[in-house]
Amino acid sequence: MNQSHAQLFKEVIGIYSNLNLEEYSLLLKLFGLRKYKNKEHIISSDEDNSSVFFIVSGLVRYYYLTSDGKEWKNQRGQSKLIWDMTGY
């Protein structure tokens, strides 16, 4: 993760928490940078996943089918946090 990504991450994390520099540094070590291709699945509903994703650029669409077959969907753009919603 380069310096600009780390700074952007720090700004967004600051919205949700009041971490000191040491705590932030420890948290940052838990994250890595991954690039995904257009329309590539990041996770699927049948995976046991406890990941948190931070979108640096681009757009992510997440969706699932309800028990009656309807599609529930949402989108998140740059500088947003998303997490696995299947556990809720």
Kindly state whether residue 43 falls inside one of the protein's structural domains. Answer: no
pLDDT in tens, 9-50: 888 888 888 999 899 889 888 888 888 898 888 877 777 777
Question: For residue 53, what are the β-bridge partners?
Answer: 82
pTM above the 0.85 mark? no
Q: What percent of the chain has pLDDT over 90?
A: 8
Q: Is residue 42 part of a domain?
A: no
Q: How many structural domains comprise the chain?
A: 1
Taking the C-alpha atoms of 28, 81, 44 and 68 in order, what is their torsion angle to the nearest 10 degrees?
160
Residue 21 located in a structural domain:
yes
Residue where the block lists tokens 């380069």? 2
Range of the domain at 20: 3-34+49-87
